[in-house]
Amino acid sequence: MKEINDLNLLDDVKYTKSHEWTKISGDIVTIGINDYAQDQLGEIVFVELPETGDTFSKGDEFGSVESVKAVSEIYIPISGKIVEINEDLEDAPELVNESCYDNGWLIKIKPEDVSELDDLMDKDEYLNMLKG
Amino acid sequence: MRYLPHTKEDIKSMLKVAGQENLDDLFNCIPEDLKITNSLDLPQSLSEWELNAHMEELASLNIACKNYKCFMGAGSYDHYIPAIIPYLISRSEFMTAYTPYQPEVSQGTLQGIYEFQTMVTELLGMDIATASHYDCGTALAEACLIALKQNKKTNKIAVSALTHPSHRQIIHTYINPSGYEIVEIPYTKEGLTDVKALEAMDDIAGIAVQSPNFFGNIEDLSAFKAVADTKKILFITSFTEALAFGLLKNPGSFGADLVAGEGQSLGITKSFGGPGLGLLASTKKQMRNLPGRLIGKTKDANGDNGFVLTLATREQHIRREKASSNICSNNGLNAMTAGVYLATVGKIGIREIALQNHDKAVYLKKSLEKAGFESAFDTPFFNEFVMKVPAGFEQKRAALINDKCTFAGICLDKFYPELNHHYLFCATETISKKDIDQLAKEVQ
Amino acid sequence: MNQQPGTSGLIFNEPLLWDKSRDGRCAMSLPKSDVERAPLDENLTGDAPQLPQLSELDVVRHYTRLSQWNFGVDSGMYPLGSCTMKYNPKTNEVQAARQGFASAHPLSGDEFSQGALKLMYNLEQYLAQITGFNAVTLQPAAGAHGELAGMLMIHAYFATKGKQRSKIIIPDTAHGTNPASAALCGYTPVNIKSGPKGILEPETIAAIMDEDTAGIMVTNPNTLGLFEANIKEIAEIVHSKGGLVYGDGANMNAIMGIVKPGDIGIDVLHLNLHKTFSTPHGGGGPGSGPVAVGKVLEPFLPIPRVVKELDNYKLVTDFPDTMGRIHTFYGHFGILVRAYAYILSMGAKGLTDASKLAVLNANYVKESLKGTLNLPYDLPCMHECVFNDEFQKEYHITTMDIAKRLLDYGFHPPTVYFPLVVDGAFMVEPTETESKEDIDQFIDAVKAIAGEAREDPEKLKKAPLLTKVTRLDEVAAARKPCLRG
């Protein structure tokens, strides 16, 4: 597993305590799990996602990511309705390992209140959390 | 004692390494007030020879020590078990191994169970079968829980009144603490589950129907599938006689989502009701919800084929409280046994045995009718059926056990009090025409 | 590696059954039908299932070859922690196969099943005596099934009190079946940490025990192989708030004739007959998980129960507070026969000696290997001890690598990566039936492997080398499951 300093952490996303990342694009928020999470899990074998149209409140569990020996629940950092899920993950869950910020994205959500993301961390704050 | 190899010298030198004076000192970490002060009050230990005598005497108190004629079914069936089956499964490497945690040295068990899974899917017409459960009742309870957990709108599941009475009790035991309930689907005068009554039920998460049912009758599963589709709920079927599908249309062909069954008929002795073999099969869609172990095919680092336990993230050792079930050890060796049986009888054998089961049961029914018994239901059956018995039958039945070592049917009134003087009869390939003729003569 | 058991030898490839199948073959002696064919509506009948078609020798060779790819207790030492892989006595097989037992139909009626009922009644008495409880059910089909039964009885108990509780305390050392069984009863597990000495501290329980907590599930000795010395105080804390103590008896092999769980504050305990009581593991069962209870929970036992009246034994269902039924008939009777035979063969002294020698063997392993592998809790252990791969980290060798290399030496590896409280856990339970010589070979093997970790780590990464297949791709198996042929 990677050392903290070797982690790939992007500047233009925000991070949650439970290792998800969010990126805003117009009125849609894209969510995935970050490099630390995919590295800790190891080779991912299955991703359980909700269906488009499902609604969640901030903090709800919205799915899970599985490796051979572990399962990690994933928590939604913002309330809203799911507008798209990454269907490629059904046949190629390894995309989350290979490209967790790009092709390995999980869901796209139309949020109710973007200010719910205010308490998320930027890259430096997240790194400090990991180190501390 | 022959199972304890330690000599006095062994104990002395091992204690030295362990840093203790004597064996009792090994338990110094236990507070004194928690220790037993006297010895366990158990019978004097027996030599192998005394044990043989003791067990022979005990076994002789069971009528089964004699060769009895069994016209009873109801979830436990008398079938021929070819000699190669106990011979092969008693091999130490199968019997004294444990769960295949180290697949490299468990390929025997793993391939054997993979083959079992495959043959069960063939038998039942389903996509996936698990590596086994304890019995049909517990497998069915797990299937009901799957349906209930998936349907967030209601806490009820519809279960046929002709599902084995013990199975209905087990379902209740399993689902009750989570606040779920059974709604029983009544039966018709044809001895079948009442589809119309089911159609009228709105608030249900799933449907569970046994076929052949407890009365031995063959249900029209397509009618229940239609109801399940209309209500958009899961359709679960169950069975107690696995050999029925050597002849009958399998549950998969009716679109069942989940199938629970009893595999004791597949080469396993009755053994006073256990261990039997729980079977659970599903469509591909339900794969990740299935409880129990699953064996999958894969390749090793050299590219050779091999087998492993897979999809373990459903299970308790990883998912803990979120697991699909708590099951760990299952009925592994009995699943192997069933695999050997299915390989032994094969496509030709299972068809012939199933046909003979049906033929013998039909001949038994006709013979009993000629002897003055009344048919309870005018419905097709596999190898069990219900008859209303004439007056005086009970005494004759008791006499038959004592004098002729014959068990003529099972009385139904403790299971279905409304069916007074009704008995459930069974005939398998082990019953001869002579046995049936003799029985009919005795109970005339 | 000359004195090590593991060696190479000729074994055989064997295809899948359907690859051997040839149309027209049948391995069974089909009985001749003596009645006429009875027609059945063709809407009800289907095609014969696509089962393989083989000759008798095909089947015999198939399974004989498959068996050679397996490792069992009869093959060699199998120190799988928490599984108690002790020797399975062959006389027990003879007893279970007796016609009077094997051919018995469960609905024959009490009068005609006195042998079975007497055996069950007496076995209940022996297990109650060994564990220090009032009453026993033999119905649960496995340990986890027994846990479920125990939790269901606790649930039924609180139901009669008029106020159901919602939580249950579960230590971090618990077996995964514990929280899974609790969840099946609707209890939310509250996880607590063991103390620095590897056992539970009363203060931890006192801090969270309340009147909405049904109780605690505790394994004693725990999965670190340590005796929970504070059990009595912990039980008092739980009882003082009206809760109950569930005992996971999987590790009973350490304390037979030494401690009676029923006397130290436990209210309900399950046993694993396929562990402590020598019944064979079968490659994953069938086992049996009897549950012993004290007076408080006795009314809630599953039905039917075996009752003795003078010299007669009966199955009785009339127990109004019963938790219900959890097995179609009476449990795994065939397994009960084997456990009964074992208890009669051992007697009180035999069982007590078994526990003492099991604990001796484990402590011997612990002291012999503690310089070679890291021992996180350097304390006297019970019947098992837990190491990890801390010392091997500098060579990038893991517990997994050591386990796989042990296969080449001719040993089944210990339990790995459990309990979760120890990173890279390596849990060794030799059991009492292993001789000093076999244990010494095991110790030598581990030492040799530790040496290989330093000198030739690449070899360990490739291990096992002598087995029929080497490390399998579990990722592919999970990504693209292929569950049937």
Q: What integer is the mean pLDDT of B31-54?
A: 97
pLDDT in tens, C243-295: 999 999 999 999 999 999 999 999 999 999 999 999 999 999 999 999 999 99
Q: What integer is the mean pLDDT of C318-342?
A: 98
β partners of residue C113: B62
- Return the closest-CA partner of residue B257 out of B283, B222, B289: B283
Whether A69 and B288 lie within 8 Å, measured CB to CB: no
pLDDT in tens, C66-124: 999 999 999 999 999 999 999 999 999 999 999 999 999 999 999 999 999 999 999 99
pLDDT in tens, B157-191: 999 999 999 999 999 999 999 999 999 999 999 99
Enter the tokens of residue B263: 């595999």
Chain C: give the shortest CA distance to residue A45, in Å.
Answer: 5
Q: Does C423 touch chain B (CB under 8 A)?
A: no
Q: Does B81 touch chain C (CB under 8 A)?
A: no
β partners of residue C136: C292
Chain A residue nearest residue C479, CA to CA: A45
Is the complex ipTM higher than 0.95? yes
β partners of residue B217: B381
Report the neighbours of A using a cutoff of 3 or more CB pairs below 8 angstroms: B, C
Q: What integer is the mean pLDDT of C450-455?
A: 97
- Residue B271 DSSP class: G
Report the neighbours of B using a cutoff of 3 or more CB pairs below 8 angstroms: A, C
Whether C479 and A45 lie within 8 Å, measured CB to CB: yes
Predicted local confidence at residue C1, as pLDDT: 47
CA C326 to chain CA centroid, Å, is 19
Partners of B312 on chain A (C-beta within 8 Å) are 68-69
| Cα→Cα distances B349→A5, B231, C36, C92, Å | 66, 40, 18, 32
CA B174 to chain CA centroid, Å, is 17
Q: Does A46 touch chain C (CB under 8 A)?
A: yes
- Residue C219 DSSP class: E
- Gap between the Cα atoms of C58 and C375, Å rounded: 49
Whether A45 and C478 lie within 8 Å, measured CB to CB: yes
Predicted local confidence at residue A3, as pLDDT: 87
pLDDT in tens, C222-246: 999 999 999 999 999 999 999 999 9
CA distance between the termini of chain A: 18
- Return the closest-CA partner of residue B333 out of B271, B270, B268: B268
What is the SS3 assignment for C45-69?
ECCCCCCCCCCHHHHHHHHHHHHCC
- Gap between the Cα atoms of C440 and B91, Å rounded: 27
| Cα→Cα distances B338→B79, B174, C285, C365, Å | 13, 27, 14, 40
Average pLDDT, whole number, for chain A?
A: 92
In chain A, residues 42-101 whose CB comes closer than 8 Å to chain B: 45-46, 48, 66-71
- Return the closest-CA partner of residue C72 out of B332, B269, B129: B332
Partners of B246 on chain C (C-beta within 8 Å) are 48-49
Enter the tokens of residue A111: 């949020």
Q: Quick check: C346 pLDDT over 90?
A: yes
Average pLDDT, whole number, for chain C?
A: 96
